[in-house]
Amino acid sequence: MSVAAYLKLSIAVAIFAIGLKAGAWWLTGSVGMLADALESLVNLAGAGFALAMVTLAAAPPDAGHPYGHHKAEYFSSGFEGVLIGVAALAIGALALHRLWQPQPLEQLGWGAALSLAATVLNGALAWAMLRKARAQHSIALEADARHLMSDVWTSIGVVAGVLLAGATGWLWLDPLIALAVAALIGRTALALLRRSADGLMDAALEPELRERVDEVLASFAHPSIRFDHVVTRRAGRRHHVELHMHLPATWSLGKAAALRAAVEQALLRSVPGLRATIELLPHDVEAHDADPGRGPGP
């Protein structure tokens, strides 16, 4: 299945989960169950926006966007983070109101069953989506999957707490659990917003991928061949590396171009999908870089 297909499935599951969790809240009157249903509503909005951004990110380059639209996925992650943050605030307000005005809980067995059914669906989908996100390096799909996974754990906590509140008669447990849910999903919102901002600011490749790049360059290093000014960045699902390759001034253009092609192919084999930009320079020439943050590399 494609990333877009997973997001469409996430939308369908979110709609079904909203119905189950809303039924659980209607049966029990639990503010914890209401908080859980609100989070599923955010899942629906987040998955819909993620689908729109993934579709945009897949669009080919055009005159206005010659490097493509890959960073659109970061907007999806940021948007979902904002949605989750708003939901956390709304849940917190409802919980505080119920904490001061406790209400009895009813039909906990049926309510718990409906909530757990939605949780099983969300858990299975989140696990499959995380695997696909890692394979495709899709931050939009990963954000939606992590939100679903946080929903799974909060749902389990809500069900356990509501059942405990019903068994003990401690009605204050219900809003207290809702506050805990608000705090947990608020933390998820901050993590998604940080990840989105990091991606929009052209973050470097992950350490393990940068290590692969360095290993490839080291394998081509020679007293007459050296590499410097190595810079990496991520743009959505695209990985990029830029570098200077210094060669003897006596080499022919054809020989230099052949070596550059060999380095590019080796980098691509080591990091699938990597886009490499290699500038050829004579061995005794140093390029003047206007960016002081761009180091000389290995």
The CATH number of the domain where 193 resides is what? Answer: 1.20.1510.10
- Same domain assignment for residues 44 and 86: yes
The CATH number of the domain where 267 resides is what? Answer: 3.30.70.1350
- Same domain assignment for residues 255 and 117: no
pLDDT for the residue numbered 54 = 77
- Same domain assignment for residues 15 and 156: yes
Domain end among 162, 179, 200: 200
Following DSSP, what letter does each residue of 68-86 receive, concatenated?
-STTHHHHHHHHHHHHHHH
Q: 232 to each of 15, 206, 293, how far by Cα in Å?
A: 40, 9, 12
pLDDT for the residue numbered 109 = 80
CA atoms within 13 A on the CB side of 37: 23
pLDDT for the residue numbered 2 = 79
Return the SS3 of 242.
strand
Number of domains in the chain: 2
Joined tokens for residue 198: 């990091």
- Same domain assignment for residues 193 and 69: yes
Residue 288 lies in a domain: no
Residue 186 lies in a domain: yes
Domain end among 181, 200, 219: 200
- Same domain assignment for residues 185 and 218: no
pLDDT for the residue numbered 263 = 94
* Ramachandran angles phi, psi of 103, nearest 5°: -130, 150
* Ramachandran angles phi, psi of 80, nearest 5°: -65, -35
- Same domain assignment for residues 218 and 115: no
State the residue for tokens 């180091």.
295
- Same domain assignment for residues 153 and 177: yes
Residue span of the structural domain in which 257 resides: 207-282
pLDDT for the residue numbered 216 = 93
Residue 293 lies in a domain: no
Residue 292 lies in a domain: no
Residue 93 lies in a domain: yes
- Same domain assignment for residues 45 and 96: yes
State the residue for tokens 């002081």.
292
* Ramachandran angles phi, psi of 289, nearest 5°: -100, 130
Provide the residue-wise pLDDT of the chain in tens; the chain has 298 residues.
777 788 888 888 888 888 888 888 888 887 777 777 877 777 787 778 778 877 877 777 777 777 677 677 777 777 777 877 887 787 788 778 777 777 666 777 888 888 889 889 888 988 888 888 877 777 777 777 877 887 787 787 778 777 877 777 777 777 787 788 778 778 878 877 887 777 677 678 888 889 999 999 999 988 889 999 999 887 766 788 999 999 998 999 999 999 999 999 999 999 887 889 999 999 877 765 545 445 555 5
- Same domain assignment for residues 104 and 9: yes
State the residue for tokens 């980098």.
267
- Same domain assignment for residues 136 and 266: no
pLDDT for the residue numbered 292 = 46
Residue 290 lies in a domain: no
pLDDT for the residue numbered 285 = 76
Domain end among 155, 175, 200: 200
- Same domain assignment for residues 90 and 214: no
Residue 289 lies in a domain: no
pLDDT for the residue numbered 261 = 94
- Same domain assignment for residues 248 and 223: yes
pLDDT for the residue numbered 288 = 59
Residue 297 lies in a domain: no
